[in-house]
Structure 1
């Protein structure tokens, strides 16, 4: 294998783009999207870990939930990375870069009980929802309405997942208080 590599675009740079979005504005949006991309991948890996390790009475139902949520996070990541490239940026990649850029902290390698796992997921979704919400405002204030629309679509799905987790964690309404 050849040791020579030609760098087409350095990570952290923004070049001209086919959608004719101003490069200075694109830099700000790329930074925001890479933050959300990183957080989404951190969440994705956490959800996959929970899918692999869930046990207990509701493990089948929770396994489906974790699997579906992870697939949704992976799809979101692909859309975010595609938008970064479309506006002239380089999508962040690799575990170290994800950890460095993400507002969602890595949960760690240990396995926790289901309630603790769901609470950690709810925290991660909350952090990502806050980030995406602020980036919608940023993108639209810079005139990038396509990114704003893309993030709004993801926000609806993120909030739906957070609501579902909240339901899993809620006290059973039929239980004595």
Structure 2
């Protein structure tokens, strides 16, 4: 590891940016995007955990769905982090920072039955949908239409995944017999 360490920009700061977005407005948007970035990574790790642990009659279909959903979350997280950088901010990183900034609570390390896992996923999607929706309004009210577009595209995917999970949880699937 290199002995030379030069901080280029401190976490939690916003500097000038090439897209000429006002720094004071950018601070607000960066804070909102860091919350969504954090929530997206909390969701990503929860989806991966459920992907690894799914079992039962529909495990193949669920494993595919959860893997694709996790890949979508990772793609959205990358886009959010790039946008934070583009408007002069520093994306949060690391598990502790993600948990601290996320409006989506960390599920924990325990393994649950498939129905409970999917119910927890649906709840996480709902929390993230609410956060992203409010941040679309914030970004656009501050004149950051590019961030609004980015978040709208993410919102479409989030709502689609939530709808699919709701379908898995329908009365005729993943039924508990006993």
Which structure 2 residues correspond to residues 53-92 of structure 1 after superposition, within 5 A?
53-92=53-92
Following the alignment from structure 1 to structure 2, what is the Cα–Cα distance between the partners of residues 172 and 4?
60
After superposing on structure 2, the runs of 4+ consecutive aligned residues of structure 1 that deviate more than 4 Å are none
Displacement of 1:3:
3.1
Match of 1:52 in 2: 52
Which structure 2 residues correspond to residues 1-177 of structure 1 after superposition, within 5 A?
1-172=1-172
Q: Paired residues, what number?
A: 174
Report Cα offsets for 1:96-154 as digits up to 9, x if no partner. 00000000011111100000000000000000000000000000000000000000000
Report Cα offsets for 1:37-95 as digits up to 9, x if no partner. 00000000000000000000000000000000000000000000000000000000000
Gaps of 5+ in 1: none
- TM-score under structure 1 length normalisation: 0.96
Gaps of 5+ in 2: none
Superposed CA RMSD: 1.2
Report Cα offsets for 1:153-175 as digits up to 9, x if no partner. 000000000000000001129x9
